[in-house]
Amino acid sequence: MKFGIHLLLAGVLAFGPLGCNKSTSPDESVSANTAGNERTEQPTKSGKREPAARVTERTTPKDRVDNKTAVAEPKPAPRARAMETVPASTAVTVTLLDTVSTDASKEGDKFKATLAEPIVVNGKVVAEKGDKVNGTVKTVEEPGRVKGRARLELVLNDIMSGNQTYNVSTEPFIAVAGSSKDRDAGIIAGGAGVGAIIGAVAGGKKGAAVGAIIGGGSGTTAVLVTKGKQLKLEPETRVNFVLKDDVKLPVLRSANS
């Protein structure tokens, strides 16, 4: 009996290590799996996986391409016009577009006119007939304030030439209404350096020359004597002004062209 028990124990001791080698404990299995995962996954410092890098293409927006193709080459700047000096004492004849009168106009009122003749200097046209002109009513005196006579004083402010406006300074044009004893219409001279003065408002006709100055010098004025107490200059009346200072205007063309 004892011999049988000893034999059984010997068998167990002989085959026991083989069984242990073939099986793995649960703890060892978990440890192995964890190590494998550590080798295959590389977590970030925060414990999260890094997402796979995205491949992007750089493309130029369509509108940018269209803009590049639509941009035209800049046009060359236009050549500046040559300038000519119009000397003081040059006569500037204008045709009134507005009515100016002692009974309706006030000092400081503006009036519009156009050049009745081109301005020519040294054979060059610097302002065309019909170019716009702006002026100011400088003085308005109704009848009874100056020996019973109405009085108007006008000056020019600017002239448009070649689509540009140029400031000018002129001697005043002075118009004085006559009394019933005076002739129907005529011109008398006043002021320093006055040359021959011609013109009249014959019978009140529109377009008649008023204060047309020939020659003349600095400080020239023209005094218009008309019949009646009130003084009225209607549209289409032509009035000559004289430049007080030099002014530079662009050369538009040759006077012969």
Tens of pLDDT, residue by residue over 3-12, are 555 555 655 5
Give the global pTM. Answer: 0.59
pLDDT, residue 120, reads 97
Give, rounded to a whole angstrom, the gap between the first and last alpha carbons of the chain.
Answer: 154
Q: Which residues contact 217 (CB under 8 A, 6 or more apart)?
A: 89, 192, 193, 194, 195
**Domain boundary assignment for the chain:** 83-254
Neighbours of 36 (CB within 10 A): 10
For the chain, where are the alpha helices, taking DSSP H only? Answer: 2-22, 26-40, 62-70
Residue spans of the chain under pLDDT 50: 26, 30, 32, 34-40, 146, 183-221
Give CA–CA dist 42/55, Å, rounded: 21
In this prediction, residue 88 carries a pLDDT of: 95
Q: Which of 223, 226, 233 is nearest to 96 (CA)?
A: 233
Q: Which alpha helices (DSSP H) does 74-130 contain, by range?
A: none
214-245, pLDDT tens digit by residue? 333 334 445 555 555 788 888 988 888 999 99
Q: What count of Cα atoms within 13 Å lies in the side-chain half-sphere of residue 41?
A: 14
What pLDDT, on the 0 to 100 scale, is given for residue 18? 52
Burial track 122-159 (b if 16+ CB lie within 10 A, e otherwise):
eebbbbbeebbbbbebeebbebeeeeebbbbbbbbeeb
pLDDT at 131: 98
Note the pLDDT of residue 80.
81
How confident is the model at residue 193, as a pLDDT? 33
What pLDDT is stored for residue 58 in this prediction? 59
pLDDT of the residue at 4: 57
Q: Which residue has the tokens 């406006």?
A: 165
Ramachandran sector of residue 192 (left: φ over 0; alpha: ψ -120 to 50; beta: rest): beta
Integer Rg of the chain from CA: 53
Q: Is 139 helix (H, G, I), strand (E, B) or coil?
A: strand
Q: Classify domain 83-254 at the CATH topology level.
A: Lipocalin (2.40.128)
